[in-house]
């Protein structure tokens, strides 16, 4: 069990925000611990997406009609940390991440509670969440399909194949949060296969588009409160490795295995 | 007037959906106009367009939401193009999705190799956990659709194009997972022909009608679990088998049965190694690939040796 108070009880806004920020700090410590495991982890993207994950779970963790899918599955460390801190999984993922016999694999594992779909092969989480959203629509329920994807992931045609269907079938109960950290495995997205005019691209597929700071919890929560009669795309500007000065903004920090002493130093330096 | 397998599918699914609100029908621009499901249940019919990977992943989300999605397209665009979606959503995660794949084998005839699929059973089999059915004729197709709708398991149902056949007689209470033995049941035959799929079953019917030395066993389900379940019954029939299947030899049911019955002789009448590069009817393309009545008779003769069958 974790030591963080659950955050979904009604509490004053400022206290709620402070609570969430405290949770993100704990989550970052867990991610750093997973980077210090025998296997290491995708630390850069995990640290860029963690504020978004914590924000989304804080709002929807008790909504059984809403599914949250981390489509950029390589950042499983962030998802495991989030599920643990929200008491959705019992075991501390950092204690067995990547180990023989552990379900905490390097990409999300549907054998764990509250992970309905094993992502990791990029693109698949988006149509899965869209299918869930379509199901809620057929049942006349107000549940959502929420997907957190990466900007590099948008190089996969499957993302746009799905956007086409979302528009065609008017799946408006859908939120696509793009963690725009600008990096991917081999370097910068802008160098490898740039995503020009991302806002216009999503708009052309019938999405309402909002741009936010993906590390600003107030903006994240405000964006999730937006009324939208179209599918909503949140383009969240983030920093790869956010919170650890030594690797912030460095695409080479996509994956790292660090010694314990470095992990301790990085955890102490978290703001 | 009998219907083809794929027309039977559409009609049967539309009927089932009257009593089962969880059934969803998904097409990928190949369902044709005046689809009976769309006409009967427009709120549960979705033509998602030419987007096979997304369609299967969307079906996974629908399945998770409690629905029973049936997704239909041509075999090649399902099993080959969308293989990764099938592997993950249906094989690994065992989502309750049913794929109905028309144009199996070379039933597309003159449409050419892009529209043929001689590899699908091998591909789907390798993903584990997925029931694979190759029904023959209208009644068996309808029964398989019924069984798929009732089952919690993922299904891959291989159909052909527009050929119309009468299914072999099957007892009302029997499942399509039971072997059908044509004619009187007898044991220790010199050769057991095993038919899988429509054309193969028609070929084996022809042979069994004129050759008393062979017994004909028809298999509708050919996933590994089903094949394992047949072994005891098959070995009662014979110790020599010739599996007739419109498929490549690689990953065929013959190859799987050979591994499951190492003490038996298992031969394969399949579509060989050539690419079907010419047009023509379904039968013309099969002839080019060496799959048909005459080569099958020759193969039976060769297996029988000097004594013949």
Tokens of B27: 């097409």
Cβ distance of B61 and A168 shorter than 8 Å: no
**pLDDT-derived band of residue A235, with 50, 70 and 90 as boundaries?**
very high
Residues of B with Cβ-Cβ distance to A123 under 8 angstroms = 53
Q: For residues A69-98, give the mean pLDDT.
A: 97
Residue A90 tokens read as: 């019992």
| Interchain contact, A134 vs B54, CB within 8 Å | no
Task: Write out the two tokens for A20.
Answer: 């969430």
ipTM value: 0.93
Contact A169 B46 (CB under 8 A): yes
Do the chains contact at A161 and B51, CB–CB below 8 Å?
yes
Asked whether A225 and A13 are in contact (CB, 8 A), the reply is: no
Asked if B61's CB is within 8 angstroms of A130's CB, the reply is yes
The residue of A103, A110, A112, A131 whose CB has the most chain B CBs within 10 angstroms, and thus the best one to mutate to test that interface, is A131
Mean pLDDT of chain B: 96
Rounded-to-integer distance, Cα A214 and Cα A198, Å: 16
d(CA B283, CA B207): 17
> Which residues of B lie inside 8 Å of A (Cβ-Cβ)?
24, 43-44, 46, 48-49, 51, 53-55, 57-67, 84-85, 88-89, 92-93
CB contact under 8 A, A131 and B58: yes
Mean pLDDT score, B27-55: 97
Average pLDDT over residues A113-136: 97
**Is A128 a residue whose pLDDT tops 70?**
yes
Q: b/e for B82-97, b at 16 or more Cβ within 10 A? A: bbbbbbbbbbebbbbb
Q: Which two tokens stand for residue B196?
A: 């899988």
A151-160 per-residue burial string, b: 16 or more CB within 10 A, e: under 16: bbbbbbebbb
pLDDT in tens, B240-271: 999 999 999 999 999 999 999 999 999 999 99
Residue B27: its pLDDT value, please?
Answer: 98
Q: Which pLDDT does position B182 carry in this prediction?
A: 85
Distance of CA A270 to the CA centre of its chain: 20
Does B50 score more than 90 pLDDT? Answer: yes
Partner-chain residue, chosen from B44, B49, B88, that has the shortest CB–CB distance to A118: B88
Check whether A8 has a pLDDT greater than 70: no
Per-residue pLDDT at B264: 98
Helix (H, G, I), strand (E, B) or coil at A175: strand
List the alpha helices (DSSP H) in B65-136.
75, 83-85, 120-126
pTM for the whole thing?
Answer: 0.95
């Amino acid at each position: 069990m974790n030591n963080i108070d659950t955050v979904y009880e009604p509490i004053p806004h400022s206290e709620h925000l402070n609570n969430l920020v405290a949770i993100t700090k704990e989550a970052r410590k867990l991610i750093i611990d997973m980077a210090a495991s025998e296997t290491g982890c995708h630390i850069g993207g995990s640290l860029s997406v963690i504020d978004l994950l914590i924000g989304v779970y804080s709002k929807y963790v008790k909504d059984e009609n809403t599914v949250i899918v981390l489509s950029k599955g390589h950042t499983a460390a962030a998802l495991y940390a989030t599920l643990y801190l929200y008491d959705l999984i019992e075991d501390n993922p950092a204690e067995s991440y990547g180990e023989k016999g552990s379900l905490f694999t390097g990409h999300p594992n549907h054998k764990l509670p509250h992970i309905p779909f094993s992502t990791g092969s990029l693109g698949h989480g988006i149509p899965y969440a869209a299918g869930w959203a379509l199901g809620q629509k057929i049942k006349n329920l107000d549940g959502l399909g929420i997907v957190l994807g990466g900007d590099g992931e948008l190089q996969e045609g499957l993302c746009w194949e799905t956007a086409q269907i979302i528009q065609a079938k008017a799946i408006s109960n859908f939120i696509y949060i793009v963690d725009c950290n600008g990096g991917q495995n081999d370097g910068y997205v802008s160098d490898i296969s740039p995503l020009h005019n991302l806002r216009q691209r999503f708009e052309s597929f019938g999405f309402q588009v909002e741009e936010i700071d993906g590390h600003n919890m107030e903006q994240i929560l405000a964006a999730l409160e937006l009324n939208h009669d179209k599918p909503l795309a949140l383009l969240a500007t983030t920093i790869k490795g956010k919170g650890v000065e030594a690797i912030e903004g460095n695409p080479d920090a996509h994956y790292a295995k660090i010694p314990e002493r470095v992990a301790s130093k990085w955890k102490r330096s978290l703001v | 007037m009998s219907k083809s397998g794929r027309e039977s599918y559409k009609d049967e699914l539309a009927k089932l959906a009257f009593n089962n609100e969880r059934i969803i029908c998904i097409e990928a621009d190949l369902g044709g106009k005046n689809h009976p499901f769309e006409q009967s249940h427009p709120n549960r019919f979705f033509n998602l367009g030419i987007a096979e990977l997304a369609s299967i992943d969307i079906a996974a989300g629908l399945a998770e939401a409690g629905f029973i999605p049936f997704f239909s397209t041509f075999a090649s665009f399902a099993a080959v193009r969308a293989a990764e979606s099938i592997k993950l959503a249906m094989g690994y995660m065992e989502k309750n999705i049913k794929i109905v794949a028309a144009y199996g084998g070379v039933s597309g005839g003159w449409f050419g190799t892009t529209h043929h699929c001689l590899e699908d059973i091998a591909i789907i089999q390798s993903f584990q956990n997925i029931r694979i059915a190759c029904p023959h004729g209208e009644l068996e197709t309808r029964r398989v659709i019924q069984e798929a709708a009732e089952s919690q398991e993922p299904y891959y149902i291989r159909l052909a194009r527009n050929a119309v056949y009468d299914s072999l007689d099957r007892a009302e209470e029997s499942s399509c997972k039971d072997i059908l033995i044509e004619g009187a049941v007898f044991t220790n035959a010199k050769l057991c022909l095993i038919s899988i799929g429509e054309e193969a079953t028609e070929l084996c019917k022809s042979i069994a009608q004129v050759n008393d030395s062979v017994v004909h066993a028809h298999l509708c389900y050919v996933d590994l679990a089903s094949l394992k379940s047949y072994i005891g019954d098959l070995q009662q029939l014979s110790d020599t088998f010739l599996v007739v299947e419109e498929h490549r030899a690689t990953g065929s049911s013959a190859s799987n049965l050979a591994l499951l019955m190492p003490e038996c002789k298992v031969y394969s009448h399949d579509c060989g190694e050539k690419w079907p590069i010419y047009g023509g009817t379904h039968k013309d393309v099969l002839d080019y690939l060496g799959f048909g009545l005459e080569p099958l008779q020759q193969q039976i003769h060769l297996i029988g040796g000097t004594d013949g069958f």
